[in-house]
Structure 1
Amino acid sequence: MISKVFSTTGALARAIKGFQPRQPQTDMALSVERSIKNQTQLVVEAGTGTGKTYAYLVPALLSGKKTIVSTGSKNLQEQLFHRDLPLMVDTLGFSGRVALLKGRANYLCPERLSRQMIESHDGHADPMLLSQLVKVRSWSSETKTGDLGECDDLAEDSPIIPTITSTNDNCLGKECPSYEDCFVVKARKRAMDADLVVVNHHLFLADLAIKETGFGELIPEAEVFIFDEAHQIPDIASQYFGQSLSSRQLQELAKDINIAYRTELRDTKQLEKVADRLSQSASDLRIVLGEPGFRGNWREISTSPAVARELVRLTDALELAHDVMKLSLGRSQLLDAAFDRATLFKARLERVKDTSIPGYSYWYECSRHHFSLNITPLSVAEKFREQIQQQEGAWIFTSATLAVNDDFSHFSNRLGLEPTEQFTLPSPFDYESQAILCVPRFLPEPNSYGLADKLVDMLKPVIEQNNGRCFFLCTSHQMVRDLSERFRELSDLPVLVQGEMSKQKLLAEFLELGNALLVATGAFWEGIDVRGQALSCVIIDKLPFTAPDDPLLKARIEDCRLQGGDPFSHVQIPDAVITLKQGVGRLIRDRNDHGALILCDNRLVSRNYGETFLRSLPPIPRTRDLAKVSEFLAEIDTNNQSAESSAASEV
């Protein structure tokens, strides 16, 4: 049946214009079918162009079994649900039901919106935020899903979103006056009734670890679990199998105590005082933790006198708020829910303060206004394996980047997997003719003084000759800043910089300009799909080793040593290889794409481990001569112009 669907006369060929059967795609679909039938684990590395999405959707839809498909991000989730899935449903004549389920932070909470509207009329509200609330209220009367991503008037990073959505901590559940209108409950119901549900990794793993999302009741009913972009799962699982407490949670709690005082408990002035004290204590601890954008070792800093002092004050403030709320229990649903959260946060704070328990990494992270205190297990393999054994069924993992030098053990070991099958699908792209890879001669040493200036001097001629159309992917925000400043000084090409506008807007502007250089870091290494000659050059500043002071990396290094392994070979190199493969994957996205890849790190040719990186990349012809890169790019443009002229003359 599967082979027939993917054949020249099959359902896909009839439904999709230009569909060509590809043996790797059929092989993957047959493996997925076997895994579903035999309830086994399957790991497949499937590069861009192999058609992995259809290869898992077809057997899943034909299986008749309840399936959960988990993707790497909300954007990929929506693309899968709104573009790929409807096509497959129509093509196969699938009569079952499909559903999209996101985390509760994506759905409007009518009760919290109502409270914010009341709060915003106290004379202290920001007029801009008030106007956004009014627009959301207007939209709320029309929406069927309550998914804020569908509200065009609301920016995806709007500061009002946390105030009009619920969390596991502050949701009132069945006690909520708006329970019947709850969009989370409705989304959960649609997912429970569906035969195939599309979620994302964060939602799936939050449920798997703590059973506190609306997704919890789905897992026992599912028989097939498919993970796309599966390379992200080990790190996300680490977050959810640990514990954390953030200043945002504490300040949201303080805010709800204040709202309860103002709207229902005006006779209990003490509530306002304890709420203000709790909020201030959280802010004070944030200040003593240091610079924003920093991850540090919580074990070490928690013993410093300044942090220890603020910790005592925060503990006292939380306990006082808890005790004062206890006196008014039963008088306000909002306050009752806040009391339960205060009880939970007290326990979490005590757990975070006890840094003596082995087997965990203790770390903290600061943004401009907030902090989070985190405990992460050194390894998630045992816990993840337990969950798989409890759920049984078929567990299928796929991504363009899972293997290191054709070896899947790094990925499988991190999750405690025992796959019955694991393999790499050959790419349909002709890398020999479509691309060129250059590690230039005379590169400065990584981390050397003035590295950005030297790279700009070396690469500006190539970028300008190519008329921009280039991604410069960096391994740090500092390098993004240094490179963009220098390029703007010396080049007339438009230079777009990550962080100066949203990711979507940045990408749209890159495509619209047609001659831009985009300088970016993390967010642009994966999940970006620019086809054609709009992007014909990708430059990477150096091998993407995680910073050695990263607390999560330190934890995994410690775990590796405990098990007698070599952390550099078993942890740091495999991580960097998979990240590099993601960055390289931005270049060739289509059979008609051509382009140059420039890797600015001498270690690829000067160190023994460089060969591990190079062997893990697609079979792209290599050179050390930037002049050959320029020739290759010029030839691409000449061929494209000839093709365009021929097409025009035929018309």
Structure 2
Amino acid sequence: MIAKIFSSSGALGKAIPGFQPRQPQLDMAHAVHDAIKNGTQLVVEAGTGTGKTFAYLAPALVSGKKTIISTGSKNLQEQLFHRDLPLMVSSLGFYGQVALLKGRSNYLCPERLNRQLIESHTPQADPELLTQLVKVRTWSSETKTGDLGDCEAIAEDSPIIPSITSTNDNCLGKECPSFEECFVVKARKKALDADVVVVNHHLFLADLAIKETGFGELIPEADIFIFDEAHQLPDIASQYFGQSLSSRQLTELAKDIEIGYRTEARDMRQLQKVAERLAGAAMDLRIILGDTSFRGNWREAIKSQAVQREILRINDAFELAYDVLKLALGRSQLLDAAFERCTLLKNRLERVCDTTISGYSYWYECTPRHFSLHITPLSVADKFKEQVAEKEGAWIFTSATLAVNDDFSHFTQRLGLEPTKQFSLPSPFDYQSQALLCVPRFLPEPNSYGVAPKLVELLEPVIKQNQGRCFFLCTSHQMMRDLAELFRQTLDLPVLVQGETTKQKLLTEFMELGNALLVATGAFWEGIDVRGDALSCVIIDKLPFTAPDDPLLKARIEDCQLSGGDAFSQVQIPDAVITLKQGVGRLIRDTKDKGVLVICDNRLVTRPYGSTFLQSLPPIPRTRDLKKVSEFLAQTNQTEVEQVEQKAILEN
């Protein structure tokens, strides 16, 4: 049956114009079918263009079994649910129910919206926020899903979103006056009734962590679990099997106490004092922690007397909140829930400040307005393995980047997997003719002083010749900012920079301009699909080794060394190889794409480990001569011009 579906005269051949059977896609579909049939684990690295989405969707749909599909991000989740899944459902004549399930923070909470509207009429309220709240209320009367991603009236990063959505901490559950209208409950009910549910890794792993504590669950049980972009799982799992406390949680608790005081307990002035103390203590610790966009070692930071003093102030604020909220019990559901959260967060503060427990990394992170304190297990293998064994069924893991030099152990060991089958599928792209990889001569040493000006001088002619149409992927925010500033001074072409607007707007602008240079970091290394001549040059500033002072990396290195391993070859190189493969994958996205990849790091050719990186990449022809790059781009651009002219002649 699987072979028939993927034949030129089969279901996909009839549904997709120009569909061509591909052996790697068929091989993967057969392997997924066998894993489902036998209830086993499967790990597949499927190169870009293999068609892995259809290769796992078809066997899952024809199996008739309950299926959970988890993707790496909300964007991929939307693409799968709204584009790929409907096509497969239609072509296979699938009559089951499908559902999209996101995390709580994506769904409007009617109760919290009502409370915010009441609060926004006070003299202290921001009129702009009130305007946004009114727009959301209008939208809420029309929406069926409550998914704020569909609400065009507010930006995706609007500051009002945390105040009109719920968290596990502040949800009132069945005690909520708006429980019957709850969009989270409706989405979960639809997921429970569905045959195929599309989630994302963050939601799936958050749900596993909640189940482990014995509390309610959001994701239903299933027979088949499929993870796309599975390379992200180990790091995301580490976040959810640990614990964290953030200033955002403290300020949200303070805000709810303030609203409870203003709306339902006006005779308890102490509630206002509690709210002020909590918010103030959180802000003071944020200031003491220092720099923004920084990850630090919490074990080291908490030794500081200044930090200890602020932790004591937060603890005192919790004590006061506990005593006052206890007196208010029964007055209001909001204040009752705040009492429960106060107890929970106080215990969490004690846990993250007890840095004596081994087997965990203790770290903190700062943004301009907030901080978060984290304890992260160095290994999630045992916990994840336990969950897999408990749920049984088929577990399928796939991505374009899972192996390091054809070795899957770096991925499987971190999750405690024991796959019955694991293999790599080659990409159908002809890299020999479609691409060129250049590691230029005369590169500055990585991390040396003044790297950015030298890279701009070296690569500006390439970007000019290609008329933009280039991604410059950086390994740090500082390098991104430095390069962007210098390119804006020297290039006549548009220079777009990550962070100056939303990711989606930036991509749309890049495509519409047709001659831009996009300078970006982390978020643009993966999950970006720009096809055709809109992108024909990808430049990477250096090999993407995680910063050596990153507390999570340091802890994993120490753990590896304690067990007698070589941390550089077992931890740092595999991580960097997977990241580099993701960045390289931005260039060739289609059989008609052509382009140049420039990696500005001599270590690829001067260090022994450079061969591990090169052997893990697609078989792209290599050069060290930028003149060869110019020739390749000139030939590519000439071909594009000829194709446009030929098309114009045919149309006339």
- 1:608 corresponds in structure 2 to 608
Q: In structure 1, what is the Cα distance between the partners aligned to 2:377 and 2:617?
A: 31
CA positional deviation for 1:649: 2.0
- 1:292 corresponds in structure 2 to 292
Q: In structure 1, what is the Cα distance between the partners aligned to 2:53 and 2:435?
A: 25
Cα deviation code 1:100-125 (max 9, x no counterpart): 00001000000000000000011222
Q: In structure 2, what is the Cα distance between the partners aligned to 1:212 and 1:183?
A: 24
Q: In structure 1, what is the Cα distance between the partners aligned to 2:156 and 2:512?
A: 22
CA positional deviation for 1:641: 1.4
Q: In structure 1, what is the Cα distance between the partners aligned to 2:219 and 2:166?
A: 22
Alignment of 1:41 onto 2:41:
yes
1:96-111 matches, cutoff 5 A? 96-111=96-111
Note if contact 2:100-2:199 (Cα within 8 Å) is conserved in structure 1.
Answer: yes
Task: Evaluate the alpha carbon distance shift between residue 258 and residue 341 of structure 1 in structure 2; reply closer, same or farther with a 3 A threshold.
Answer: same
Task: Evaluate the alpha carbon distance shift between residue 180 and residue 376 of structure 1 in structure 2; reply closer, same or farther with a 3 A threshold.
Answer: same
Task: Evaluate the alpha carbon distance shift between residue 152 and residue 214 of structure 1 in structure 2; reply closer, same or farther with a 3 A threshold.
Answer: farther
SS of the aligned residue for 1:530 comes to: coil
Q: In structure 2, what is the Cα distance between the partners aligned to 1:303 and 1:435?
A: 52
CA positional deviation for 1:554: 1.0
Q: In structure 1, what is the Cα distance between the partners aligned to 2:625 and 2:14?
A: 47
Alignment of 1:128 onto 2:128:
yes
Q: In structure 2, what is the Cα distance between the partners aligned to 1:214 and 1:147?
A: 27
CA positional deviation for 1:55: 0.3
Note if contact 2:188-2:219 (Cα within 8 Å) is conserved in structure 1.
Answer: no
1:248-263 matches, cutoff 5 A? 248-263=248-263
CA positional deviation for 1:559: 1.5
More displaced stretch, 173-182 vs 501-510: 501-510
Note if contact 2:364-2:371 (Cα within 8 Å) is conserved in structure 1.
Answer: yes
Q: In structure 2, what is the Cα distance between the partners aligned to 1:315 and 1:649?
A: 76
CA positional deviation for 1:217: 4.3
Task: Evaluate the alpha carbon distance shift between residue 461 and residue 470 of structure 1 in structure 2; reply closer, same or farther with a 3 A threshold.
Answer: same
Normalized against structure 2, the TM-score is what? 0.99
Q: In structure 1, what is the Cα distance between the partners aligned to 2:353 and 2:37?
A: 48
Task: Evaluate the alpha carbon distance shift between residue 589 and residue 512 of structure 1 in structure 2; reply closer, same or farther with a 3 A threshold.
Answer: same
CA positional deviation for 1:218: 6.1
The one-letter code of the counterpart of 2:600 is: C
CA positional deviation for 1:642: 1.5
Cα deviation code 1:177-200 (max 9, x no counterpart): 000000000000000000000000
Q: In structure 1, what is the Cα distance between the partners aligned to 2:128 and 2:213?
A: 32
1:117-266 matches, cutoff 5 A? 117-211=117-211, 217=217, 221-266=221-266
Q: In structure 2, what is the Cα distance between the partners aligned to 1:359 and 1:324?
A: 37
- 2:396 corresponds in structure 1 to 396
1:145-544 matches, cutoff 5 A? 145-211=145-211, 217=217, 221-544=221-544
Note if contact 1:543-1:580 (Cα within 8 Å) is conserved in structure 2.
Answer: yes
- 1:546 corresponds in structure 2 to 546
The one-letter code of the counterpart of 2:152 is: D
Note if contact 2:405-2:616 (Cα within 8 Å) is conserved in structure 1.
Answer: yes
CA positional deviation for 1:216: 5.6
Q: In structure 1, what is the Cα distance between the partners aligned to 2:570 and 2:221?
A: 37
Q: In structure 2, what is the Cα distance between the partners aligned to 1:441 and 1:539?
A: 15
Q: Percent identity?
A: 78
Cα deviation code 1:207-266 (max 9, x no counterpart): 111239999646563010000000000000000000000010011001111111111111
Alignment of 1:6 onto 2:6:
yes
CA positional deviation for 1:154: 1.1
Q: In structure 2, what is the Cα distance between the partners aligned to 1:647 and 1:109?
A: 52
CA positional deviation for 1:48: 1.3
Q: In structure 1, what is the Cα distance between the partners aligned to 2:363 and 2:218?
A: 32
The one-letter code of the counterpart of 2:592 is: N
Cα deviation code 1:334-385 (max 9, x no counterpart): 0000000001011101111110011111111111111111000011111111
Cα deviation code 1:31-78 (max 9, x no counterpart): 001001111100000111100000000000111110000000111000
- 1:568 corresponds in structure 2 to 568
Cα deviation code 1:119-139 (max 9, x no counterpart): 001122212111110100000
Note if contact 2:68-2:196 (Cα within 8 Å) is conserved in structure 1.
Answer: yes
CA positional deviation for 1:501: 1.0
- 1:578 corresponds in structure 2 to 578
Note if contact 1:526-1:586 (Cα within 8 Å) is conserved in structure 2.
Answer: yes
The one-letter code of the counterpart of 1:505 is: K
More displaced stretch, 126-135 vs 222-231: 126-135
Q: In structure 2, what is the Cα distance between the partners aligned to 1:41 and 1:161?
A: 39
CA positional deviation for 1:267: 1.1
Note if contact 2:429-2:591 (Cα within 8 Å) is conserved in structure 1.
Answer: yes
Q: In structure 1, what is the Cα distance between the partners aligned to 2:32 and 2:218?
A: 21
Q: In structure 1, what is the Cα distance between the partners aligned to 2:632 and 2:212?
A: 54
Q: In structure 2, what is the Cα distance between the partners aligned to 1:555 and 1:387?
A: 24
Q: Which runs of 4+ in 1 moved over 6 A?
A: 212-215
Cα deviation code 1:519-558 (max 9, x no counterpart): 0000110011000011000000000000001111111112
Q: In structure 2, what is the Cα distance between the partners aligned to 1:509 and 1:604?
A: 33
Task: Evaluate the alpha carbon distance shift between residue 152 and residue 220 of structure 1 in structure 2; reply closer, same or farther with a 3 A threshold.
Answer: closer
- State how many pairs are aligned: 651
1:582-601 matches, cutoff 5 A? 582-601=582-601
Note if contact 1:188-1:215 (Cα within 8 Å) is conserved in structure 2.
Answer: no
The one-letter code of the counterpart of 1:319 is: E
Q: In structure 1, what is the Cα distance between the partners aligned to 2:558 and 2:196?
A: 40
The one-letter code of the counterpart of 2:354 is: D
Q: In structure 1, what is the Cα distance between the partners aligned to 2:96 and 2:649?
A: 50
SS of the aligned residue for 1:221 comes to: coil
Q: In structure 1, what is the Cα distance between the partners aligned to 2:287 and 2:648?
A: 64
CA positional deviation for 1:330: 1.1
Q: In structure 2, what is the Cα distance between the partners aligned to 1:266 and 1:329?
A: 14
Task: Evaluate the alpha carbon distance shift between residue 213 and residue 367 of structure 1 in structure 2; reply closer, same or farther with a 3 A threshold.
Answer: farther
Note if contact 2:207-2:217 (Cα within 8 Å) is conserved in structure 1.
Answer: no
> Structure 1: where are the runs of 5+ without partners?
none
Q: In structure 2, what is the Cα distance between the partners aligned to 1:636 and 1:179?
A: 59
Q: In structure 2, what is the Cα distance between the partners aligned to 1:32 and 1:597?
A: 33
SS of the aligned residue for 2:373 comes to: strand
CA positional deviation for 1:205: 0.2
